[in-house]
Amino acid sequence: MDAKTMVLDKYSARIYKNRKEHIIVMDGNGEIPTIAANARSAPGIITERGCCYAGCKGVVVGPIKDVLTITHGPIGCGFYSWGTRRNQAKASKEGEPVFVQYMFSTDMQEPDIVFGGEKKLRQAIKEAMEIFNPKAIMICSTCPVGLIGDDVQAVATETEKLYGITCIAFSCEGYKGVSQSAGHHIANNGLMKQVIGTKDTPIENPFTVNILGEYNIGGDGFEQIRILNKCGIDVRTSFTGDAAIDDLKAAHMANLNLVMCHRSINYIAEMMEVKYGIPWLKVNFIGLESTCNTLRDIGKFFGDQKLIDRIEAVIAEEMAEVAAEREHYRTRLTGKTAALYVGGSRAHHYQLLLNDFGVKTVLAGYEFAHRDDYEGRDVIPTIKEDADGKNIEHMTVEADPEKYHAYLTPEQLEAVKAEIPLSEYKGMMHGMEEGSLVVDDLNHYETEAFTRILKPDIFFTGVKDKYAIQKDGTMSRQLHSYDYSGPYAGFKGAMKFGHDVVMGLYTPCWGMVSPPWKNRATIEAHIGGG
């Protein structure tokens, strides 16, 4: 029995039918198969996914360093999103505030649920203004707010008038959508409508870019900016790691958008392309080879010989600097196998970094990716513009070709394609070897089962599943927070990653763990009833 059948075999007929579409065995014939993705998790199954609020506040809005973000809801939501994502930030200049280490919440109680929470929100904003005097406030709603119907947008408008600051309310209640993904979408539309393009700060360098989908986890963004600056490329802002609100407002004055995490920010890339004519380029700074390819792509885009030469010189210098250390790690890692299960882009990016060290990926999966993240992108977004062309909104949550085509006739589709040179990129499946597994919304049972069947040397994942894997005697490192290490991006980051993986694998502790699968042949649970 192959690994997929062995795992599915434990399910009831109903769950079997559901899950089999989400698990793909790559057959290596060059064709990209279809995978079910961005669908509701089966009830009763322990999913590792997060919620809409996590995607909006935790991922996109929270990292903006000088914006005071208030979580409007009971205290638990704010508490559990406090400081866990490790999006680093440093003050733009002396005296400028950095709020990312704080967590602000309205701490809604039962009476607020019964009689409404707007009063408490107004009070929280008043206190925030008195104590911190921020230039912008963002409000993120959690589940009960939507259920009782607080008008957070009205409070935001009122706040702007009363205090003369920017205030944006996001109705990103946790229950919306099927995962974090809906929250990214809501945050992107809000930033596009009310932030981007509201301030003109002209660029000084013709090679000025934004990095979209870079949240500066463990300082990844700092390393990317170091490399780009060394090549003579300016970064107006990154979205939204270490971002200042004024730079985001002037982001429309850059010449190119680099899209690092496509999943969380493709909406803004597309809307900026339509509204401001800024093209975007899918990039990846995770991995040595990937970083070199990315820099060369940027050089090609600008087409300036001096810039291209400078980029080649930087690549030569940086690669020479890491050569010996890379070899040290490669000799210790070649032939090892890895499984990766992360949100919506890292299970792809990190396969390429692992390749640099000779590590083969046997399983890769996403929590909330859409089909284009797996299969590649050849779909057209549906974008709505106001009559005056001012507000632009990305209309679809689905990246499903059939769904897109439902919005546009084939003729319209061709017309849009001809008018907008939409950037394309290949999905995760394109580089995956024959026999490797792709699993969407990998759940707790499947994590344990695949670990025992495939026995990867390392399982890269998140905090919810990490310890279950390690108790089974398999090393696990977090690819969300990097287990408090990092950066892992760029040339220097790749070395940090190699160091951490070698250190983790060669510790003698793995020989001291007696994994249950050594004593028991199979897992005897029956999932899904029936």
Residues within the interface to ligand CFN (CB under 6 A): 55, 59, 85, 180, 213, 215, 217, 261, 263-264, 342-346, 367, 480
**Is 184 annotated in the active site?**
yes
Taking only Cα atoms into account, the Rg of the chain, rounded to an integer number of angstroms, comes to: 23
487: preceding bond cis by omega (within 30 degrees) = yes
Catalytic residue among 19, 49, 72, 184: 184
Q: Name 343's Cβ contacts closer than 8 Å, sequence gap at least 6.
A: 180, 263, 366, 367, 368, 369, 480
**No. of H helices and E strands in the chain?**
22, 16
* CB of residue 215 to ligand CFN, shortest distance in Å: 4
β partners of residue 360: 337
* CB of residue 479 to ligand CFN, shortest distance in Å: 6
Tell me the DSSP string of 409-447: -HHHHHHHHHHS-------GGGGPPTT-EEEES-BHHHH
**Is 243 annotated in the active site?**
no
Q: Residues 102-128, buried b or exposed e (16+ Cβ, 10 A)?
A: ebbbbbbeeebbeebbbebbeebbeeb
Nearer to ligand CFN, 183 or 456 (CB): 183
Catalytic residue among 22, 49, 72, 85: 85
Would you say 297 and 281 are in contact if contact means Cβ atoms under 8 Å apart?
yes
Nearer to ligand CFN, 405 or 444 (CB): 444
CA distance 294 to 289: 9
Q: Does residue 133 come out as left (phi exceeding 0), alpha (psi in the -120 to 50 range) or beta? A: left
Nearer to ligand CFN, 49 or 326 (CB): 49
Token reading at 464: 């919810």
**Is 406 annotated in the active site?**
no
* CB of residue 338 to ligand CFN, shortest distance in Å: 15
* CB of residue 347 to ligand CFN, shortest distance in Å: 7
Token reading at 414: 């061709």
Catalytic residue among 54, 89, 128, 269: 54
**Is 85 annotated in the active site?**
yes
CA distance 210 to 234: 9
Nearer to ligand CFN, 63 or 498 (CB): 63
Nearest CA-CA partner of 443 in 23, 51, 46, 50: 46
* CB of residue 345 to ligand CFN, shortest distance in Å: 4
DSSP conformational letter for 41: P
Nearer to ligand CFN, 207 or 285 (CB): 285
Nearer to ligand CFN, 71 or 159 (CB): 71
Closest residue (Cβ) to ligand CFN?
343
Token reading at 252: 């429309």
Q: How far is the CA of 254 from the CAs of 203, 262, 448, 460, 521, in angstroms?
A: 7, 18, 46, 35, 58
Nearer to ligand CFN, 159 or 179 (CB): 179
Token reading at 118: 């707007």
* CB of residue 346 to ligand CFN, shortest distance in Å: 4
84: preceding bond cis by omega (within 30 degrees) = no
Nearer to ligand CFN, 217 or 227 (CB): 217
Would you say 368 and 263 are in contact if contact means Cβ atoms under 8 Å apart?
yes
Residues designated catalytic: 51, 54, 85, 184
